[in-house]
Amino acid sequence: AIIVGSLLPLILYFVFLFTVVGITGPETTPEAIEGLTQKIENHGMVLGALFGFFAVATSFLAVGLVLKKIFWYDYHINKHLAWFFVCLVPLLAFLFRLRDYIQVIGFLGGTLGGLEGVLLVLIYQRAKKNGLRNPEYALNLPNLVNKSIILVLVLGIIYQVVDFFC
């Protein structure tokens, strides 16, 4: 399930990528869909827009659900408040009229991906310390490595925030 669940989105992204680049060639736009409008009729445009929308929406849902469960189960935050925290960044981006697709996707991916990475390292540390059973596999990372990973992720989040708002 993990292998198929990881490979299927990758394959679909490559199909989308090669389709867009194959149709628009050197006139490919950063948003991909805008360049398609100049090359294909409305029916194809609708299909391309739907494909792009579902690619982004499913990614957000997958990451958002994982992040919500991390807040809920691991940090004991109320289920509804955890979902609010997950949706807060995209909501603020929308309210501040941030409509540049590539910029918003980069910002959300950098901030939410970095936050998720930090939380996963913290969960890993807690599980190693408080775990009640021996796992099927284990990473024996020194504490310095864990702290370095967190530092790099936090610096990435800070960079994304500064780059986005400045």
Task: Write out the DSSP string of 61-87.
Answer: HHHHHHHHHIIIIIT---HHHHHHHHH
Q: pLDDT tens digits for the chain (166 residues)?
A: 778 888 888 898 888 888 888 888 888 877 676 777 777 766 666 776 777 778 777 877 888 898 899 899 988 999 999 999 888 877 877 777 766 767 777 787 888 889 989 999 998 888 888 888 877 777 788 899 999 999 999 999 999 988 887 7
Would the pTM count as exceeding 0.85? no
What pLDDT, on the 0 to 100 scale, is given for residue 44?
Answer: 64
Tokens of 55: 């690619």
Say if residues 149 and 124 touch (Cβ distance below 8 Å): no
- Pair of tokens at residue 78: 């109320």
Three-state SS at 142:
coil
Q: Which two tokens stand for residue 69?
A: 């469960």
- Kindly list the distances between the CA atom of residue 13 and the CA atoms of 3, 10, 85, in Å, as whole numbers in the listed order: 16, 5, 28
Q: Are 19 and 25 in contact (CB under 8 A)?
A: no
